[in-house]
Amino acid sequence: MIEKRNNIFSTNFVFFMTSKIIAILIVIIALGAGIAFLLKPAKDDSVLTPDPAGFLDNSPVAVTVVMDGEKFIPEMVTIKKGEKVRWINQDTNQHWPASDLHPTHAIYPEFDPLEGVPPGKSWTFAFTKIGTWKYHDHLHPLTRGVIEVK
């Protein structure tokens, strides 16, 4: 009888200790993950590297279009083939100028930065195709503009 009691005691003791060890390991892992998260450097949105969308292109442009609120200023632009247009985001929200049709941008697919332009940043595009190119803000589709390339 004493042997059976000792067996039950040792089984319960082992289970109790194993549970404590597992709980301690979980706490240590959680603390380590939390510390790693807190020590991770903050993302610096002021530096976009690499620059696949052309946000850092500071080359000369024919026209600058301001994105402010729900409008492009000016809404209609006329340029020559090969000239560049720069869209500057002076809003507090991202904007994404892109060729019609929304949401595919299929009419002039190259005319698309493929991501939103952050506040305070700009995007530049060189128009190599002659035509009248209607565009919109992909994030605010009712915001519209036209680029005429001669």
pTM of the model: 0.61
Residue-wise pLDDT tens digits, 74-111:
999 999 999 999 999 999 999 999 999 888 888 999 99
> How confident is the model at residue 54, as a pLDDT?
54
Tell whether 106 is covered by a domain: yes
For residue 123, what is the domain's CATH number?
2.60.40.420
Tell whether 50 is covered by a domain: no
Tell whether 101 is covered by a domain: yes
User: What is the domain count for the chain?
Assistant: 2
Classified as helix, coil or strand, 120 is coil
pLDDT at 58 over 70: no
Q: Cα separations (Å) of 59 from 10, 85, 96, 100?
A: 78, 10, 20, 25
Instruction: Tell me which residue range forms the domain holding 77.
Output: 63-149
Residue-wise pLDDT tens digits, 34-45:
676 566 554 444
54/123 Cα distance (integer angstroms) = 6
Q: 84 forms bridges with which residues in the sheet?
A: 126
Burial class (CB in 10 A: 0-12, 13-18, 19+), 66: middle
Say yes or no: 133 and 93 in one domain.
yes
Report yes or no: 54 and 84 within 8 Å, Cβ to Cβ: no
> How confident is the model at residue 23, as a pLDDT?
77
